[in-house]
Amino acid sequence: MSNTPYTELLTRAKEAWLLGTVSSILHWDQETQMPPNGAGHRANQQALVARLAHERATDPRIGDLLASCESSRDMADPEGDQATNVREIRRAYSRAIKLPSALVEEMARVSVLAHQAWAEARKSSDFAHFSPWLAKVLKIKQEEAACVGYKDNPYDALLDEYEPDETSANLVKVFESLRAPLVELVGRIASTGRRAPTEILERPAPIAAQQEFGCMAARAIGFDFNAGRMDVSVHPFCTDIGPGDVRITTRYDEKAFGDSLFSVLHESGHAMYEQGFLPEHAGTPLGQAISLGIHESQSRMWENLVGRSRAFWTHYFPTARQFFPSLADVSFDDFYRAINATEPGYIRVDADEATYNLHVLLRFEIEQALLNKDLSIADLPGAWNEKMQKYLGVTPPDDARGCLQDVHWSGGAFGYFATYTLGNLYACQFFDQAKHDIPTLETSFAAGDFAPLLKWLRTNIHQHGRRFSAGRLVKKVTGSALSSAPLLTHLRRKALEVYGV
């Protein structure tokens, strides 16, 4: 291939991406293998890699190459390969050149140390141990928002990194379309006085059996263990090291086997999206996720729409009883009701489908208040508990089950949480279309065959990388703009099935 401006641009973009994958493996090791005393050195490593990657990504030569490419006739098709790559590299370049290398380097360094402080604080439920580090992270993110620029709300500058072109003003509308219906639905369920037998899920389940069952389920739905692996971490996650190497984690509790299993399905959904990019596009925007909302749609689809379905457990419940003898006297219907219970609780990652978005709303509002300096770090635990009571009717008994439960803020992921709700919306709309396109989909689940859904996702979503915006993709795949109706319909159907309301 001749050395045209476009090929040189891709070469330079791939070099910056490769440095990012080095950071990914350092992060994975930090979460799964690194001894606690290695945090200081790891912070310096991550800071150096972040600076080098930023310097590569902001080299003025990239700006020159972009200008040359943008005037090329090969840009005629706005959704063609070259136009997509040039457009998305321009987007990343325009953002990156606004950020001082020193700020990028400091965020990478502080995030490692802040994460260690968060893990220790969560373990001992001691917010005071984490608060100085949260203050450091928040200050850096406020500086980042100021550098990037925004029209009305600093939150928008940070949100755009995760969900391009999305705004807090639109997210407020999204949450408004969900808040009242969700509160009403949860209230109706509570008024029945019926409860699902969730104590079933607290029966003893040996960790070795959980590991084997989880790996079996991940492999069955399509996670390629020849191109990935699964480990243990404090907070489950998925990280893309590069082509042929996508890693997921989970966590185990002998009296909460469902938590691990659904985390495995969730993270496998993320991983299969990463494993579905076309290998020839590795290191370019065509080999990367459109947005975290779309990414989250893949994880939430496999975790909830597949993993909590009757069809999935029609196939897997007999196997689960073999793995976990404590389920021997449990009926299928009771088990199904237990995994689909609607009961407000403290922990977001354990939340049922109906209350989950209320957990996200709480974080969305708190993040904006922190970024806009309407809420102090010192007042965060109290504000958190007040909102938990307001939206979910429960008050966390300690900060470990309150404002310390999530890892995201320690790594500077402000603007991230809203993508979880967008993911739920995308997931239901995509899944409805998949069922329309494949009428036998649930029959195949009941037979233990998940390949038809994965093939549909590969064809309609994964292979496109960043060719289409999130909004354009949804309309292209489903024929409609993003709507809350499919999610609300799904939740109401599930409530009728489990609670009769």
Catalytic residue positions? Answer: 267
Do 143 and 210 share a structural domain?
Answer: no
The span from the CA of 40 to the CA of 333, in Å, is 51
pLDDT (mean) for 77-102: 97
Whether residue 316 lies inside any domain: the answer is: yes
Do 201 and 109 share a structural domain?
Answer: no
Do 189 and 324 share a structural domain?
Answer: yes
Query: In the prediction, which pLDDT does 234 show?
Result: 87
Chosen domain end from 115, 149, 183: 149
| Res. 375: pLDDT tops 60 | yes
Residue labelled with tokens 């009926």: 331
Do 453 and 405 share a structural domain?
Answer: yes
**298-308 burial: b if 16+ Cβ within 10 Å, else e:** bbbbbbbbbbb
Instruction: Extract the tokens encoding 171.
Output: 């997210």
Q: Looking at beta carbons, which pairs linking 473-478 to residues 24 or more positions away fall under 8 Å?
A: 473/290, 473/294, 474/426, 474/429, 474/430, 477/430, 477/433, 478/429, 478/430, 478/432, 478/433
Do 121 and 47 share a structural domain?
Answer: yes
Instruction: Extract the tokens encoding 181.
Output: 């219906």
Do 441 and 412 share a structural domain?
Answer: yes
| Res. 73: pLDDT tops 90 | no
Do 440 and 379 share a structural domain?
Answer: yes
Chosen domain end from 149, 179, 197: 149
Query: In the prediction, which pLDDT does 212 show?
Result: 97
pLDDT in tens, 20-41: 999 999 999 999 999 999 999 9
Domain that holds residue 11: 5-149
Do 258 and 130 share a structural domain?
Answer: no
The span from the CA of 214 to the CA of 197, in Å, is 22
CA dihedral of residues 477, 483, 489, 492 (deg, nearest 10): 140
Whether residue 301 lies inside any domain: the answer is: yes
Whether residue 154 lies inside any domain: the answer is: no
pLDDT in tens, 471-485: 999 999 999 999 999
Chosen domain end from 149, 179, 214: 149
DSSP state of 239: E
pLDDT in tens, 271-329: 999 999 999 999 999 999 999 999 999 999 999 999 999 999 999 999 999 999 999 99
Residue labelled with tokens 């999935």: 312
Whether residue 330 lies inside any domain: the answer is: yes
Whether residue 204 lies inside any domain: the answer is: yes
| Res. 454: pLDDT tops 90 | yes
pLDDT in tens, 399-429: 999 999 999 999 999 999 999 999 999 999 9
**What Cα–Cα distance (Å) separates residue 98 from each residue in 54, 149, 160?**
11, 9, 14
| CA atoms 311, 315, 320, 325: torsion sign | positive
Do 370 and 253 share a structural domain?
Answer: yes
- The mean pLDDT value of the chain amounts to 96
For residues 305 and 490, the answer to whether their CB atoms sit within 8 Å is yes
For residues 327 and 197, the answer to whether their CB atoms sit within 8 Å is no
Query: In the prediction, which pLDDT does 2 show?
Result: 67
CATH number at residue 317: 1.10.1370.30
Do 189 and 273 share a structural domain?
Answer: yes
pLDDT in tens, 195-254: 999 999 999 999 999 999 999 999 999 999 999 999 999 889 999 999 999 999 999 999
Give one word for 332, left, alpha or beta, with left for phi > 0 and alpha for psi -120 to 50. alpha
| Res. 437: pLDDT tops 80 | yes
Whether residue 159 lies inside any domain: the answer is: no
Whether residue 484 lies inside any domain: the answer is: yes
Sequence-distant (6+) residues with CB within 8 A of 208 are none
Do 221 and 84 share a structural domain?
Answer: no
- Strand order of the β-sheet with 238-242 is 228-232, 245-250, 238-242
Whether residue 74 lies inside any domain: the answer is: yes
| Res. 3: pLDDT tops 90 | no
What one-character-per-residue DSSP string does 10-60 give?
HHHHHHHHHHHHHHHHHHHHHHHT--GGGHHHHHHHHHHHHHHHHHHHT-H
Sequence-distant (6+) residues with CB within 8 A of 172 are none
Query: In the prediction, which pLDDT does 350 show?
Result: 87
Q: Quote the number of domains for the chain.
A: 2
Do 190 and 101 share a structural domain?
Answer: no
| Res. 147: pLDDT tops 70 | yes
Q: Is 246 helix (H, G, I), strand (E, B) or coil?
A: strand
